[in-house]
A and B are shown apart, each in its own frame.
Chain A
C-alpha cells in the first residue's frame, strides 16, 4: 500500500527566523539525503529554497512512515529542538502531500504567484535525490507528475505569462516590444540605486552589453559599472551621452527633473531618429513628461508600469481556477496510475500462477491421453484457456473498476484479499 508524507516549513507557516534555521545549501541537502539513505528504507526528496524546506517521504510496500521520526531527523540535522518550532512545521499525507507538491511546482504556492525559479528548484531537488539514490519508484512518479503539472500550467494558463515586478515589466513587456535585440544597443543608467541594479539584471539577461553609468557620486557609479562590466562618465556629459544611447534607466534622487524638454530638443537631431526607450523610475520624475510626446521616444514612469504590473497580477489571479483544475486532474491521474501499477502487479501474478497450474494439468492430461491428435490437443488447450478466463474475469474486473473509481481503502482490501485467497507470492 502506497504512503506519502510531506514534512517541513514554508513562508506561509514559518517566519524568516524559523526558515533560516531550516535552511539547507545544495551540499547540505546531499549530505542529509545520504544520512537518510543510510538510516531509513523509505524514499525521500528534500526541497530546500529560500521560502521553504520540505522533505517528501514515500513508502510503496505499505510500511508505516513514522511522522515523529521524520520530524526528529530533520530537527537533528539542524540542531533544532522540535518543541520550539512545532507550530511552524507542517505535515501533509497522501492526497494533501501530492496536491501540495503540484501547487509548489506549478508556482501556485510561491510568494510571487507564477515566479519561474521554483520549477528549476523542484527539478534540482529531484535530481539530487536521484544522484544519492533516495528517490524510488513512487517519488519518481510523483516528481515526474509534478513537472508535468508545471508544464501544463505554463502552457494552458497565463499565470507565468505576465510579469509582476516593475523592472521585469519594463524590460520584457516594454523594451522588448520596441527593440528586437539589446546586444547592439547602448544603455545609459542615470543614478546608481537598487532599482537601477535590478533593472540592469533584466536588461543583461536579455542581452544588453554596452552599459554606461552616470551619477553625481562617482564612487557609486564606479561600483555599479564594475558590477555590470560597464563604464562611467561625468554628470556634466549626460546630455551628450543621451544623444548616443538607445535605452535610459533613470533612478536619481533629484527633486527636480534632470532632463527637461529643452535639453532633449537640443540633442534630438543628433539622435538621427533612432528610438529611445526611457525608463524613469525616479520619484519625483527625472524626465520631463513632455519628452514622451516626441517622435520615437517611449518614456515610461513608475506609474505607467505599475498599472501594467497590477493588471498582470490580477490576470494571474484570474487564472488560478484553471490551474487548480489542472492540479485536481493530475492528482486523480497520479493516484490512478499508482493504483493501476499495484493492481497490474496483482493481476500479473494471478495470471502467471493460474497459467502455470494450467500447463501442469495439461501436461498430465496429454500424457494420459497419448492418442490425441494435434487438433484435439489444441481444442483441449483452448477449452482450458476459456475456463481460466471466465473464472478470472469477475475478480479482475472488480480490481480494474476499483482502480478507475476507487472507494476509500477498498482497492487495498481487494488486493490484499486476492493475494491471500490465491496465496500469491511477491
Chain B
C-alpha cells in the first residue's frame, strides 16, 4: 500500500515540475524556478523513501526486477535534473529530461510483473559491479539522448538564424558537443566494465555448474555490438569527416538510446536468459524450498 502511495506521490511531483517547465514556453516568472525545484526535490525525497522502503522492507533485491530497475534509473535521472536546475536555472533541461523520468516510472509500473533477473548466489561482488555498471549505462544513455537532441535542435535553430526556440534558450553548441563527447567516453568505460563483469559471472556460474548466459543472447549481442561500435566511432571520429563531429556525436547518443529501447523491448518480449518470468522465479524458489526441506 505504502509503495503505491509513494509512487503516486513522486510521480505527481515530477509531473507538476514538468508542467511548470512547459510553462517556460508561455511566460516568464520570478518564482517558477523555486516552485519547480521544490516540486522536483519533494518528489525526489519521496522517491528516495520509496526506494529505501523497497530495499529494506521488501525483498531486498530492488534491481532484480524491471520495475525496480526503471525506478532506480528515474531516481538517478532526477539527481541529474536537480543538479542541472541548480547550476543552469535558465536552461530548460527539464523539458527533455522529465518526460524520460516519467516514461521510466511508467514503463516500470507497466512491466511490474513482467520479468526479473535470475537469483544467482555466486559472485556477489561481480554481480554488484555488473548491475551498477549497466544501471549507469542506462542513465548515461538517457542523458546522452537529451544532450544529443538538444544539440541537433540548437544547431538547426542557429542555421535558421534564430537564437532561441520561442522563449527557450538552449545551452551553447560547444557545451553540448563536449557533453556528448564525454558521455560517449563514459559509456565506453561503463560498457567495458559491465561486459567484463558479465564474463566473470558467467565463468563462475559455469564452474559451479549453474545456468550461464549464452554469448548469443540478444542482450549480450546488442551490448557488445554497442561497445564495439562506440569504440570504433571514437577512434575513427577525428579522422573521419571532422566537420561533422558535433552532429555525429549527437546522432550516436540518439542511436544508443534507440538501441537500448529496442533491446529492452526485444528482451522483454523474447526469452533472453537475462530475464526470468516471475512465475518461473516462483517455481524456482518453491523448488529450492522443497529441496531444502528434503535435505532436512
Contact = CB atoms under 8 A, between A and B. Distances in A.
Given A158-B28, A179-B172, A179-B174, A300 B161 contact: yes
Nearest to A307: B161
B173 interface: yes
Nearest to A181: B174
A178 B158 contact: yes
| Top-6 shortest CB links A-B | A273-B242, A273-B243, A173-B163, A155-B30, A180-B174, A180-B175
A273 B245 contact: yes
Interface in B1-60: 28-30
20 contacts: A152-B30, A158-B28, A173-B163, A177-B172, A178-B158, A178-B173, A179-B172, A180-B178, A181-B174, A272-B242, A273-B244, A275-B174, A292-B159, A295-B247, A296-B243, A296-B246, A298-B159, A304-B161, A307-B161, A308-B162
Interface residues of B, number: 25
Interface in A116-154: 152
Interface string A270-302: 011101000000000000000010011010100
B172 to A, nearest CB: 5
Given A152-B30, A180-B178, 6 more contacts: A177-B170, A181-B174, A273-B241, A273-B244, A275-B246, A307-B161
A295 B243 contact: yes
Interface string B236-266: 0000011111110000000000000000000
Nearest to B171: A180
A174 B163 contact: yes
Contacts of B244: 273, 295
Contacts, number: 60
Given A177-B158, A177-B173, A180-B172, A308 B242 contact: no
A275 B246 CA distance: 9
Contacts of B170: 177
Nearest to B170: A177
A157 interface: yes
Contact of A178 (B29, B172, B242, B243): B172
Contacts of B28: 156-158, 161
A176 interface: yes
Nearest to B177: A275
A181 B247 CA distance: 20
Contacts of A342: none
A174 B245 CA distance: 20
A158 B174 CA distance: 26
A210 to B, nearest CB: 16
Contacts of B67: none
Interface in B155-196: 158-159, 161-164, 169-175, 178
A279 B29 CA distance: 33
A174 B172 contact: no
A281 to B, nearest CB: 15
A174 B164 CA distance: 9
B174 A298 contact: no
A268 interface: yes
B251 to A, nearest CB: 13
Contacts of B171: 180
Contacts of B161: 300, 304, 307-308
Contacts of B174: 178-181, 275
Contacts of B243: 268, 271, 273, 295-296
A173 to B, nearest CB: 4
